[in-house]
Structure 1
Amino acid sequence: MYVCLCHAVTDKAIRKAAASGCSSLAQLRCELGVASQCGKCARQAKAILNEAAPTHRSTLPKQTLLITQMAV
């Protein structure tokens, strides 16, 4: 499903970004352009990211989690 019509970003693209370490809307904006034009997709994009990100985070070592959290 398309989440961001302005930049043609799908939920699959957001999940893929989450799987590769993206953990905030700001990072999504930089990587995919989500919510950088009209902003109507921000809430849905963040919800999908939050749903997908914990799966990725739970597989990372605790040290990586700490570094990632400090960097955000």
Structure 2
Amino acid sequence: MFVCVCHAVTDKQIKQAVEAGCCSYREVRDCLQTGTTCGRCVPETRELINATLIELAPHTSQAA
């Protein structure tokens, strides 16, 4: 699905950018140009970045 219509950036591209090492909105923006025209995609882009970072985080178990 397109997240940034202005630059034709999809949710998959954003996830791939995070998987490739982008760890912040600024890094994704610099890589894919999301949010640099109208800005309507910024909230969804941030949500996708955070969700992807959570998915990639190592799962730790809490020991009592």
| TM-score with structure 1 setting the length | 0.75
Shift of 1:43: 0.1
Distance in 2, matches of 1:58 and 1:11, equals 22
1:3-53 Cα distance to aligned partner (Å, 9 max, x none): 000000000000001101111111011000010111000000000110001
Runs of 4+ in 1 over 2 A off after TM superposition: 54-59
Q: Are residues 21 and 57 of structure 1, via their aligned partners in 2, closer, same or farther at CA, if it must alter by over 3 Å?
A: farther
Structure (1 or 2) with the larger CA radius of gyration:
2
What letter matches 1:11 in structure 2? D
| TM-score with structure 2 setting the length | 0.84
Shift of 1:2: 0.2
SS at match of 2:22: coil
* Residue pair 1:24, 1:49 contacting (<8 A) in 2 also: yes
1:27 aligns with 2:24: no
- How many residues matched? 59
Q: Counting helix residues as a fraction of each chain, which structure ranks higher?
A: 1
Structure 1: runs of 5+ lacking an equivalent: 60-72
Structure 2: runs of 5+ lacking an equivalent: 60-64
Cα RMSD (Å)? 1.4
